[in-house]
Structure 1
Amino acid sequence: MKYLFFTFFLISSLLINSQEFPDISLNDIDGNNVSVKELADSDDIKIFSFWATWCVPCINELDAIADVYEDWQDETNVELIAVSTDDARTGKRVIPLVNGKGWEYQILLDENQDLKRALNINVLPYVVVVKNGEIIHTRTGYTPGSEEELFEIVKEHSK
């Protein structure tokens, strides 16, 4: 049974990691329409971090990355795009929270959860690392220190 589960997990991970990034447009917090496919189609690595205002681990992860984000950008030219999955009920909390935190990320609003659905995301926080339009890494959940593991993956693929 363990072998079957491991095999399923490995195959699904390979399929997800070879998946092309979806062609969906979202609004940023200024109301501008942004194509996530265009963002993802870059030689530079993009980290899409899916989060919500009610998700404490999501906010902890984005706070932890904010502390080292400038160094990450200097070393690898990586860009983090924080994709809020808040719906109409909780969406009004996004801008005040982002402004209060002072996050320097591009913030996109996935209010209808179109991108979240297209990527089959069921649990937050969820991180997708993309290069040249291809998903090269995904991760669910956050524990303190896992941002360093994420940066190791970014460095490995930015060469």
Structure 2
Amino acid sequence: MIGPQVLTLQIDSDLFALPVARVQEILDLAPFLKVPHWPTHLLGVIDVRGTGVAVVDLRLLLGLAPKPDDAATRLVVLRLDTPRGPLGIALKTERVLEVTELDGPKQDPLPETGMADGVSRFVAGLGRRDGKLVAMLDLDGMFDAETLDQAQGAKAA
């Protein structure tokens, strides 16, 4: 049985996936306006078709060390549904692979590790593609209220 359609991303050697239905578009990395006093993972604001969209560094959001941008770096513009209405956020990621389907409809939960609950808020579950593990990013859980408030402010700009 075929699983959900996803956009796969690569960070280092790890595979991540986002639901295709939440992806608006994929852009080449473009200059962005840096906003003072924003958290480190919020890089700034870009203009996407006349709307200010906050740029979030996925590596930094996940707690990974920064990495220099290269020709494969992309911005994945996502649509989030928030209590204040729809919101666009651009995830900066080092490599976009493909739109594909997971090997099956079943997602496994993350194994219990005894780590703080905050670690698991980024991953909704584990799927498989061609036998390799793929971490399904939890778009509804990965952005805290402060990030959403600041991103909402970028939209108004």
Normalising by the smaller structure, the TM-score range is: under 0.3
Higher relative contact order (CA 8 A, sep 6+): 1
Q: TM-score, normalised by structure 2?
A: 0.25
Which structure has the highest strand share of the two? 2
Which structure has the highest helix share of the two? 1
